Structure 1
Amino acid sequence: MQDKILYEYAVIRIFPKVEREEFINAGIMIFSKGAKKLLIKTHFNEKKFRAYESELDEEQVKLNLKSFEMIATCDENGGPISLMDMPSRFRWLTAVRSSSIQTSRPHPGFADDLQETLERLFEELVL
């Protein structure tokens, strides 16, 4: 197990109607302190979102999802949070909140390749 990389992952979820606590999985985030990586991959499923007949503005939800990506990737356009260190950004993104975009609790795992693990989790949990 020494050559395996310890990581945490969280599923990014869109809540079209927060009060109903129903959600659409919209992405995966992987953080590894040891590997010094924070990876993210998102997908907005318009068909599923529209099926909820949400009052949320679809374009605003897409922008909010994009802001998750900007914060995770340390994009300068992501605001002050994107300038925090990597562990702080991951913890901020996975903090419990009541909004249209939330994450699951972080789950631990071991991997040989973090990018490959991101792709696998994305296929299994998002698409």
Structure 2
Amino acid sequence: MTGTRPLAYQYVVLRCVPRVDREEFLNVGVVVYCQAADFLDVAWRVDEQRLAAAFPQLDVQQVCETLAFVEGVCAGDERGGAAAAHNLSQRFGFLKAPRSTVLQPGPVHGGVTPDPAAELQRLGDHLVG
């Protein structure tokens, strides 16, 4: 736990959007960024059966690999490529930027919490779980 002082944070839900033209998606992850706590992390879960039922042509392994890339960006390690070399704010900016790929961020939301890691777990359970 970071402390008892409330800290402002931002988050985006990561959506699997195999066909942008149909505007259908399933939530597969959430990224939380808290500048005051130097915190940037992702929680993700891929329900392969649910994705396969909703999107039979989807390459689920590719979705998982892309989410592992997001983990690397958050962690600042080699899995995140060049984006991982930047500071936390820039990495969150990269992750929240709209793109036309199978994995897309939703709108940015915010809140306050004394513990960003616990909030990530709560959001992951609520929005993805």
Q: Does 1:105 align with 2:127?
A: no
Alignment partner of 1:28 out of 24, 27, 30: 30
The 8 Å contact of residues 5 and 112 in structure 1, kept in 2 or not, is answered as yes
Match of 1:82 in 2: 84
- 3-state DSSP of counterpart to 2:36: coil
Give the equivalent residue in structure 1 for 2:74: 72
Q: Distance in 1 between matches of 2:107 and 2:55?
A: 27
Aligned 1:1-127 pairs, distance under 5 A: 3-127=5-129
In 1: Cα distance, 2:106 partner to 2:55 partner: 23
Q: Which amino acid aligns with 1:41?
A: A
Determine if contact 2:43/2:124 at 8 Å carries over to the other structure. yes
Residues 13 and 102, structure 1, Cα contact 8 Å, conserved in 2: yes
Distance 1:86 1:6, change over 3 A: same
For the Cα contact (< 8 Å) 2:14–2:31, is it kept in 1? yes
Q: Supply the distance in 2 between the matched residues of 1:62 and 1:19 (Cα, whole angstroms).
A: 22
So what's the TM-score if we normalise by structure 1?
A: 0.92
**Alignment RMSD:** 1.4
Structure with more strand by fraction: 1
Deviation of residue 15 (structure 1)? 1.0
1:118 and 1:101 map into 2 onto residues whose CA distance is 19
Contact 1:16 1:49 in 2 (8 A): no
Q: Which runs of 5+ in 1 are unaligned?
A: none
Structure 1 residues 48 and 3: CA distance shift in structure 2, 3 A: same
Contact 1:29 1:39 in 2 (8 A): yes
Cα distance in 1 for partners of 2:113, 2:82 equals: 31
- Residue identity in the other structure for 1:120: R
Q: How many pairs were matched up?
A: 126
What SS does the aligned partner of 1:26 have? strand
